[in-house]
């Protein structure tokens, strides 16, 4: 089973969309990730189960 999945997220600071890798083996979780364009922190909230992503939400921390 592939636990690492790609997902596109929107930066709440600069508006750019970029791909990130989600580890679905963790189940539902939140983490902070830096925008690959403007380098500001993004709060990423993931709803998933192993191998499948249900939703990914991004916002300002």
* Residue 11, CA distances (Å) to 22, 50, 55 in order: 16, 25, 16
For the chain, percent of residues with pLDDT exceeding 90: 97
Q: Report pLDDT for 15.
A: 97
pLDDT along the chain (61 residues), means of 10: 93 97 96 96 97 97 96
Enter the pTM of the model: 0.89
* Cα dihedral value 21, 23, 35, 41, nearest 10: 180
pLDDT at 1: 73
Boundaries of every domain in the chain: 4-59
C-alpha 9/C-alpha 59 separation (Å) is: 10
């Amino acid at each position: 089973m592939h636990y690492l999945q790609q997902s596109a997220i929107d930066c709440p600071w600069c508006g750019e969309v970029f791909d990130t890798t989600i580890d679905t083996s963790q189940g539902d979780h939140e983490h902070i990730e830096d925008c690959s364009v403007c380098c500001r922190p993004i709060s990423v909230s993931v709803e998933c189960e192993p191998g499948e992503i249900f939703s990914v939400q991004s916002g300002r921390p």
